[in-house]
């Protein structure tokens, strides 16, 4: 089974866990890079005018990606990771999902979080994309020791 770890990391925490996961699972690894990176001010969840806060309020927001689509031909499993923002995936994850053909792939969600659990974010993605095979992996707030599924 060919696997790839795809992740979005705003501050480097999720990137570290994604690279560890790729290493322990023998997966390729690729970052999801927004066209406009997030500054510390953009990530200030206490500031109701911050970019991340405002994106969370609008279900239609889809931040542009720096890279184009990814060729997933030959991959069976996609580990998809992100930091949890307000209990859900950042909107850039929606952009990524909607920009790529993920049909017939097993998509295993992992995340990092300062306080939210993984299940609400997974359920939201499953509801948004019912035709995709989205499964819960694990919250990775500490070193990755093995596969998450």
Band of residue 124 on the pLDDT scale cut at 50, 70, 90: very high
Q: H-type helices in 40-118, by residue range?
A: 51-57, 91-99
Please give the distance of CA 28 from its chain centroid, rounded to a whole number.
Answer: 15
pLDDT score at 50: 79
Averaged confidence pLDDT in the chain: 93
Element at 83 (helix H, strand E): strand 77-83
Check: CATH 3.40.50.360 for 3-139?
A: yes
Residue-level pLDDT at 143: 94
Question: Helices 91-99 and 119-128, interaxial angle, to 10°?
Answer: 40
Query: Is residue 20 predicted with pLDDT exceeding 90?
Result: yes
Instruction: Render the burial of 44-53: b for 16+ CB within 10 Å, e for the rest.
Output: eeeeeebbbb
pTM for the complete prediction? 0.94
8 A C-beta contact, residue 73 and residue 105: no
Other CB atoms within 10 Å distance of the CB of residue 83: 24
pLDDT above 80 for 137: yes
DSSP strand pairing (28-31 vs 133-139): unpaired
Question: What length is written for the chain?
Answer: 149
Within 13 Å, how many C-alpha atoms sit on residue 65's CB side? 20
Q: What is the mean pLDDT of residues 40-58?
A: 80
**Domain chopping of the chain, boundaries:** 3-139
Determine the pLDDT at residue 128.
97
Q: What are the tens digits of pLDDT across the range 57-115?
A: 788 889 999 987 889 999 999 999 999 998 999 999 999 999 999 999 999 999 999 88
Compute the average pLDDT of residues 121-132.
Answer: 98
């Amino acid at each position: 089974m060919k696997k790839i770890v795809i992740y979005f990391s705003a501050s480097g925490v999720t990137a570290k866990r994604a690279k560890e996961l790729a290493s322990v699972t023998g997966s390729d690894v690729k970052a999801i890079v927004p066209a406009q990176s997030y500054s510390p001010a953009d990530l200030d969840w206490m500031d109701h005018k911050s970019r991340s806060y405002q994106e969370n309020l609008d279900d239609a927001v889809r931040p542009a990606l720096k890279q184009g689509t990814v060729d997933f031909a030959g991959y069976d499993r996609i580990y998809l990771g992100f930091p949890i923002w307000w209990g859900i995936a950042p909107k850039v994850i929606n952009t990524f999902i909607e920009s790529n053909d993920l049909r017939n792939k097993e998509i295993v969600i992992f995340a990092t979080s300062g306080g939210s659990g993984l299940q609400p974010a997974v359920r939201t993605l499953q509801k948004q994309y019912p035709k995709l095979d989205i499964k819960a992996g694990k919250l990775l707030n500490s070193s990755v020791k093995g596969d998450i599924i």
